[in-house]
Amino acid sequence: MQRIRLRYTKRGRLRFTSHRDFQRAFERALRRAEVPMAYSAGFTPHPKVSYANAAPTGTGSEAEFLEIALVEPRDPEALRELLDASLPTGLDVVDAVEARVPGLADRLTASVWELRLDGVAAEEAERAVAAFLAAPAVEVERRTKNGVRTFDARAAVAELHVVAEPGGDVGRTGAGPCAILRLVVRHETPAVRPDDVLSGLRAVADLAPPVPAAVTRLAQGPLDEESGTVTDPLAADREAVPAGHSKAPGAAAATVRTGTAST
């Protein structure tokens, strides 16, 4: 049985696709691409697909991961192209490797998020970020299926800062102000999500954007605490290519540098 690991995106309007909707779309893509899937046993067999740490509905992502099991070997890049062509634009399969090292989920220890706060000036955001980072703990509430839960949103945050646009203008898009935050959050229990950090900013500094934040996951993978870099979780599979096999072109590990870590 061959196992292939894929990285896919949720872009544009497809960020509002729920995880269950994506599962249905992906299984249809598997059938259209005639992928020789392995199936589970029992009365209702289903394709063997493992999803890892999916982003919440309503958030965009450049770094979603899953793993599929095949009964016949396939070239990962050729398979990626077939699946990408079978999915709607916005749900894009952008990377594929053969699984050679166990524990993909264990490598997803942190995420890098971009939070775009329309209507918020950069100076206001910087004051709120400073207050959040200075606090020893920031308690927030989240409603769950078991009721309202209170937990600390500060402890999981490895870094939070205001970033500049590529052109050098900090926090301005279009005609109005727009603060852009870069957030690095460790994957801990309970899981801290970007909206929990936004709730924390409101609690410690009364930061309340006039419109909902546009949130995008830029990367997820192993976190280097010293450098604040989140690296490519598929790099270990590429580096484990058996002797006599050449590595796939462009197989250098993708990283997202987040600046000096703030803990």
Domains in the chain: boundaries:
2-99, 110-223
Segment 127-156, tens digit of pLDDT: 999 999 999 999 999 887 788 889 999 999
pLDDT in tens, the chain (263 residues): 899 999 999 999 999 999 999 999 999 999 999 999 999 988 888 999 999 999 999 999 999 999 999 999 999 999 999 999 999 999 999 999 999 999 999 999 999 999 999 999 999 999 999 999 999 999 999 887 788 889 999 999 999 999 976 443 444 445 689 999 999 999 998 899 999 999 999 999 999 999 999 999 999 999 998 888 899 999 999 998 765 555 444 444 445 555 544 44
pLDDT value for 175: 66
CATH topology of domain 2-99: Alpha-Beta Plaits (3.30.70)
Look up residue 5 and give its amino acid: R
How far apart are the C-alpha atoms of 44 and 62, rounded to whole Å? Answer: 33
Domains 2-99 and 110-223 share a fold: yes
Closest by CA to 222, choosing from 254, 249, 195, 191, is 254
pLDDT at 165: 64
Residue 135 neighbours by CB distance under 10 Å: 16
Tell me the pTM. Answer: 0.86
Burial classification of residue 50, based on how many CB atoms lie within 10 Å of its CB (0-12 exposed, 13-18 middle, 19 or more buried) = middle
| Cα dihedral 150→155→159→160 (10° resolution) | 30
- CA–CA gap between residue 239 and residue 55 (Å, rounded): 27
Max Cα separation, the chain? 60
User: Does domain 110-223 sit in CATH 1.10.1060?
Assistant: no
Q: With beta carbons less than 8 A apart as the criterion, state whether 119 and 209 touch.
A: yes
* Predicted local distance difference test score (pLDDT) of residue 170: 43
pLDDT tens digit string along 242-251? 655 554 444 4
